[in-house]
Structure 1
Amino acid sequence: MQDGIQRHHASGRRDDLRLSLNRLLFELSQFGSNAVVGWRPSGKGLELILLPKTRLFGLKNPINRVFEGPRHLSDGAFKQVADFIGGQPTEIRLEFPIGGGPNGLSHEDVESVMSRYSIGFAPFRTVFLIDVVGFSKHTPEEQASHLSTLKFSLSLAEATLQRAGLPMAMGRSTTGDGYYVWNLETGLDEDVSLFVLMALFSLYYKSLQREMADKMPLPDLRMALSGGSHYVFYEPSPKYVARHEYIVGDVTINAARLIGKARADQILVGDWSNTLEGPEAWTAQRYVLAANKVLSGFKKLKVFGDEVKESQFYLTGPKDEERFRNQKIKIIDKHGFEHICYNAKVNTHMKDGSAVFSGLQHSELRGTAKI
């Protein structure tokens, strides 16, 4: 029991020290206008490389460690980054030790605080965007109800993946009439899990839409899934509250461009490839195949009383002889830029003989530029 009390006191002290460090960084960040580029322990506390975000994003050909990886830098990397930026490190003197021990903070503790004030870069991640069709035509009460239903369906899908032991910690940010959705962790399995999340979300939302048709009709959605690079940042706060991640970059821009041309109930998947996962690039088609292997494990999943017999995510196209071919589509966004993508569907057949379909059939794509 005495050991438990000591651990409780140690945990409380660590919380207090993290809060104290967070307040110092909040002041140094000047309400988030400065970013922590790197840090290392010093004899009397910490050394920081701080840079105004406007200068940070203006750097020409930055070396990798400016944006990528943990903000805790080795002595060599710290000097390399400081020399590249041309800035003088800032020293923070602390009244507690860094590096472990019962009366101080570990390197992991410090990193958890520092990351809140940093700008990161992810070379690849998949993201999907949900948009409520005709959102502005609904009353504020209906809008709030619709967004709540989206969130509920997303949470159900996330919980389903987590119960199955799949790597999914959902991040999302609202666009006003929908959500950007991504996996907080990066990696091949995490990206495949995002495809599965979108498929299960479609199943849950469509099932709710069918159940509530007479009571409170739910609007149609349109969705776009893209892959690519982006920056990661966080909202600074003087309080040590739960960290909320924001992303912006090529992947979110591409998803937004696709959704701008998507029709009601359509799913568009960008034509991109991930070259970071081995010698053979991971294309959208390859991700879909991997996602379907995962979806095959969700047979017998109960969805509001019905049991799933089979669920499949696929890219549409015409039938050439005895096989279907994935058809590339060209869209031109409002700025005149071309984007190549695929039309997608999620078809789920239930054990009772009913079916839940999401997305448009290829035959419904009249007037679309196919290549």
Structure 2
Amino acid sequence: MPTDDNFSETIRRLGETANMDLTEWFKHQDWLGQNQKEASALEMRLRDVWNLGRNIILQWSQQTKGIKILAVPHYVIAGDYNDDIPSIVVEHQEFIKGILSGPKQVDPDEMENVASILGYRPIDIILGKRSWRLPEGVTDEIVKRFETNYVEEQAVALFDIVGFSLYSPLEQVTQLNSLSYSLNAAHARMLTKERDIDFARSTTGDGFYVWNRDTSIQANINLYHFMHLALADNAIARSKSSGSVTPEMRAAFHVGSHYEFYQSEELSPTRNIFIVGDVTIELARMVDRASPGQVLVGDFLAPMINADNGKTERVDTVRFIELTQDSLSSLEGLVLSGERVDAIRCYLTGDNRGNDFAVRKYLIADKHGLTRHTFNAKINIYRENSAPIFLGLQDGDIKLERI
């Protein structure tokens, strides 16, 4: 766990996304052990199959002298056929989604079945004449850079720098670095609370999408708390800085489906992961209409554990935010920019109606004429020896259309 003594090193490590060759990257992985030669050879063989980004690996299975993989051209997952029958198109899409969302390591019989349906033969990856077998975790770490994954009902946060295009290139670099530091700081601080988190980020040019690679139910809650801490760190930094060093932010949070893939660059896939899908489209349209300093939350259904019976149920946005509030106490005592956090409160804004409080929903219309519902979020962070930090806008300051 990071401490104050090694916090700077932790921040540096969490922020690393260099596109180094995988062989060089292996040197920094403790889990690789004595498997570096075989792992590097496997990576080079998979790179040949990948063929400059033309193919993706759908599945793999273990063999005595290596692995067997099923690789197909990237356009196959979208449907490489001329068929105007909607039911067949939908059936193909659902079949592909099932593969992309399922485990990538499968038994040989399952792979043969998928291969016969798609019309492609599995490929044997054999390295040398002797038998060898990498630990499954190592093999999976190598293969995943050549895969595409589909994830349903996963939370994603979008951090957007206000007025980014109006700044000079040097100011833009400075602001992106400042935002990156806030994201890294929030990540490191959550690790001190022993949170099971594995955050990934993808740049938008003037900000970042951030999501949790962990697909558990708790992962969505952890990401929402992460957004609080990152915005709070940014707000504290803005209060202590001058000029255009620290960016003004607006943010959005939503739960939905998306695809994950590794970018093709030069002659090999990078280690930078990217996402695209319904959830990123919704977030982009939400934040495009958000005011400076505003925090929007999408209208979604998310899986949550029922505390009474232990069963998983799908809850709406309002209930999700209520349930995340229950676990915020675990973040109390964190230190942000040298200041201890006493308490964090998050809520969706609305109207007081006598003894009742009604959360207000807003309507967003984009340039295509499509509409969606969203909520306005407020986050109050109370500090031990400093004034509170109030994130988000009050209901009366919002310019969106009310429902």
TM-score normalised to the size of structure 2?
0.82
C-alpha distance after superposition, 1:5-42 (max 9, x if no partner): xxx9x955411111111111111111121011112234
Hey, what does 1:34 align to over in structure 2? 55
**In the aligned structure 1, how far is the partner of 2:151 from the partner of 2:38?**
30
Hey, what does 1:145 align to over in structure 2? 174
The residue correspondences of 1:1-371 to structure 2 (distance < 5 A) are 13-42=34-63, 45-58=66-79, 59-62=92-95, 65-95=98-128, 104-213=133-242, 216=244, 218-235=246-263, 243-275=271-303, 278-352=311-385, 354-366=387-399, 368-371=400-403
C-alpha distance after superposition, 1:73-94 (max 9, x if no partner): 1133212211221222222333
Following superposition, the deviation at residue 109 of structure 1 comes to: 2.7
Read off the aligned partner of 1:184 and give its amino acid letter.
R
The 1:212/1:281 distance shift into structure 2, 3 A limit, reads same
Read off the aligned partner of 1:370 and give its amino acid letter.
R
Read off the aligned partner of 1:301 and give its amino acid letter.
L
The 1:113/1:306 distance shift into structure 2, 3 A limit, reads closer
**In the aligned structure 1, how far is the partner of 2:322 from the partner of 2:129?**
52
Following superposition, the deviation at residue 105 of structure 1 comes to: 1.7
Q: For the Cα contact (< 8 Å) 2:156–2:254, is it kept in 1? A: yes
The 1:370/1:38 distance shift into structure 2, 3 A limit, reads same
The 1:73/1:276 distance shift into structure 2, 3 A limit, reads farther
C-alpha distance after superposition, 1:90-135 (max 9, x if no partner): 223332666xxxx542333322222211111111210111111111
Following superposition, the deviation at residue 174 of structure 1 comes to: 1.2
The 1:42/1:140 distance shift into structure 2, 3 A limit, reads same
Read off the aligned partner of 1:155 and give its amino acid letter.
N
**In the aligned structure 2, how far is the partner of 1:369 from the partner of 1:166?**
37
Identity between Structure 1 and Structure 2 (%): 29
The 1:108/1:324 distance shift into structure 2, 3 A limit, reads same
Question: Is the partner of 2:95 in helix, strand or coil?
Answer: coil
Following superposition, the deviation at residue 48 of structure 1 comes to: 2.0
**In the aligned structure 2, how far is the partner of 1:211 from the partner of 1:155?**
19
Hey, what does 2:19 align to over in structure 1? none
The 1:104/1:46 distance shift into structure 2, 3 A limit, reads closer
Deviates more, 1:191-200 or 1:313-322: 313-322
**In the aligned structure 1, how far is the partner of 2:125 from the partner of 2:343?**
58
Question: Is the partner of 2:48 in helix, strand or coil?
Answer: helix
Hey, what does 1:5 align to over in structure 2? none
Q: For the Cα contact (< 8 Å) 1:127–1:252, is it kept in 2? A: yes
C-alpha distance after superposition, 1:53-72 (max 9, x if no partner): 11122244315652122321
Read off the aligned partner of 1:76 and give its amino acid letter.
D
Read off the aligned partner of 1:299 and give its amino acid letter.
E
Read off the aligned partner of 1:20 and give its amino acid letter.
A
**In the aligned structure 2, how far is the partner of 1:89 from the partner of 1:217?**
53
The 1:152/1:63 distance shift into structure 2, 3 A limit, reads closer
Q: For the Cα contact (< 8 Å) 2:175–2:244, is it kept in 1? A: no
Question: Is the partner of 1:290 in helix, strand or coil?
Answer: helix
The 1:165/1:130 distance shift into structure 2, 3 A limit, reads same
Following superposition, the deviation at residue 297 of structure 1 comes to: 2.5
Which ranges in structure 1 are unaligned for 5 or more consecutive residues? Answer: 1-7
**In the aligned structure 2, how far is the partner of 1:218 from the partner of 1:45?**
50
C-alpha distance after superposition, 1:180-218 (max 9, x if no partner): 1111211111110000000111111111111114x6563
Deviates more, 1:107-116 or 1:122-131: 107-116
Report the RMSD for the aligned CA atoms in angstroms: 2.5
**In the aligned structure 1, how far is the partner of 2:39 from the partner of 2:142?**
7
TM-score normalised to the size of structure 1?
0.88
**In the aligned structure 2, how far is the partner of 1:189 from the partner of 1:175?**
26
Which ranges in structure 2 are unaligned for 5 or more consecutive residues? Answer: 1-28, 80-91, 306-310
